[in-house]
Amino acid sequence: MARRATPEVNAGSMADIAFLLLIFFLVTTTIEKDKGIARQLPPDEPPTDEQVVIKQKNLFIVNVNKSDQLLVEEELMDVKDLRQAAIDFLDNGGAPAGSPLYCNYCKGKRDASSSDNPDKAVISVQNDRLTSYKMYITVQNELVAAYNHLRDRESQRLYGWKFTEVKKALDEGSFKGNEDDIQEKLESIQKLFPLKLSEAEPKKQGQ
């Protein structure tokens, strides 16, 4: 009687098949890493009679017209100067020493005709409906950069690390240490320079 051994399956081409599949998935994979500028919209509430009065000196008006030109505080400005202008405005600390509004961590010019303190300072962006989205994002980016610059400076002074770096590490989950503790510190820095960006309804063309 002939001995019947079941022949072994040849697994030599297994690697080839696996490679084929691997290459297919390699090609189709798009590891999406969407990043962007986050915003909180104001809630849609009926207008109240109560008028919130913001002093003119605490308001930093950025106007963008339909051909993407920038008007900052009634002056024509190049977009690359916007960041520094916003930093100067926020960091001004114009309230006199001794008054309750006095800002003891501001390092600005302390110009009485500019903002009292960072908590009072409001940046208002006014767009035209025909402003390009590219310009809109550039302006928003520069203004956020101004806040981040100041927050970095304060966190460096108080705690010895940079606000944006620690926040990024927290976002990515690569932060080592006590998270609650650091969250509290981040919030305290945010309180020193709260993000106060207001957006007016865009004007129609030609108005």
Long-range (24+ apart) CB contacts under 8 A made by 181-189 are: 185/155, 185/158, 185/159, 189/151, 189/154, 189/155, 189/158, 189/163
CA 163, 167, 170 angle in degrees (round to 5)? Answer: 145
Rank residues 3 and 33 by Cβ distance to other proteins and give the closer one: 33
Rank residues 38 and 53 by Cβ distance to other proteins and give the closer one: 38
- If binding is defined by CB under 8 A, does position 38 make contact with other proteins? yes
- If binding is defined by CB under 8 A, does position 186 make contact with other proteins? no
- If binding is defined by CB under 8 A, does position 165 make contact with other proteins? no
* Helical packing angle, 163-172 and 133-158, nearest 10°: 110
* Spatial contact of 98 and 114, defined as CB atoms under 8 Å apart: no
Rank residues 112 and 195 by Cβ distance to other proteins and give the closer one: 195
Stretch that binds other proteins, among 90-98, 105-113, 128-136, 179-187 (CB under 8 A): 128-136
Fill in the DSSP letter of residue 49. S
- If binding is defined by CB under 8 A, does position 39 make contact with other proteins? yes
> Can you read off the two tokens belonging to residue 74?
């009634």
Q: 77: phi > 0 → left, psi -120 to 50 → alpha, else beta; which?
A: beta
Rank residues 59 and 202 by Cβ distance to other proteins and give the closer one: 202
- If binding is defined by CB under 8 A, does position 126 make contact with other proteins? no
- If binding is defined by CB under 8 A, does position 9 make contact with other proteins? no
Rank residues 91 and 128 by Cβ distance to other proteins and give the closer one: 128
Stretch that binds other proteins, among 8-16, 46-54, 84-92, 175-183 (CB under 8 A): 8-16
Among 2, 5, 31, 53, binds other proteins (CB under 8 A): 31
Among 7, 43, 46, 47, binds other proteins (CB under 8 A): 43
d(CA 20, CA 18): 5
* Spatial contact of 117 and 57, defined as CB atoms under 8 Å apart: no
Kindly identify the residues of this chain, within the stretch 144-163, that bind other proteins according to CB under 8 A. 144-145, 148
Kindly identify the residues of this chain, within the stretch 85-124, that bind other proteins according to CB under 8 A. none
- If binding is defined by CB under 8 A, does position 129 make contact with other proteins? yes
- Residue 66, Cβ density class (10 Å: 0-12 exposed, 13-18 middle, ≥19 buried): middle
